[in-house]
Structure 1
Amino acid sequence: MLVLPAELTHAQAEACLRMLLQAARAEAQPRILVDASALLRFDSSALAVLLECRRECLGDGKGFAVRGLPPRLRELAGLYGVLGLLPDPAASQETVLAAA
């Protein structure tokens, strides 16, 4: 699992993306899970980092999911129309359980 830092703004975006991509490429799992629960301070650059990481993972034939997306960032992703590109495995599990 990859973990986002507490702060991810434009100033940290490039370095954070490099770190995530390096870790994702080294990961042997078929799906990359990013933990965003530590995010406290962020801007729209956090979404750009997650979307680029997703693009690279899919290009490498790996799945991609994000858990713990802060409510404000989830809201921003919804406003931009990209929330569906950042699936939360816990939400998917809740949907399956609710349907059963």
Structure 2
Amino acid sequence: MFKPGASLTVKNASSVLGEGLSAIAAGQASIDVSGVTAVDSSAVATLLAWRRAAQARGAALDFGTLPANLQSLADLYGVSPLLNGGVGSAAAPTSATDRHH
């Protein structure tokens, strides 16, 4: 399982993003972010990009329990449902479809 280092900020987001994308392309269904202690908005963007990459492969992606600081940022930006519990893979399109019927 891919596990990024302790920092996921603008300083290293590009390289960490690439590493995670490689893991997803290799078929990994989870990324353990529990050890990430230093975050900024780049961390949220990175997790969302990983989620989109998994969705493009038709796969779910689990991040486990987000560290408190990362959860706070996700809450602030209103994207917690996309990062927690795999919501945003099959559930989001289904609910969007349901609203149009």
How does the TM-score come out when normalised to structure 1? 0.79
Please, which runs of 5 or more residues in structure 1 have no aligned partner? Answer: 90-100
Alignment match, 1:11: 11
Alignment match, 2:37: 40
Shift of 1:42: 1.3
Alignment match, 1:22: 22
Q: Percent identity?
A: 38
Greater per-residue helix proportion: 1
Distance in 2, matches of 1:53 and 1:17, equals 7
Contact 2:7–2:36 (CA under 8 A) maintained in structure 1: yes
Whether 2:54 is the aligned partner of 1:60: answer no
Please, which runs of 5 or more residues in structure 2 have no aligned partner? Answer: 87-101
Greater than 4 Å deviation, 4+ residue runs: none
Greater per-residue strand proportion: 1
1:61-95 per-residue CA deviation (whole Å, 9 max, x = no partner) reads: 11012113111210110111100001247xxxxxx
Q: CA RMSD in A?
A: 1.4
Which amino acid in 2 is paired with 1:14?
S
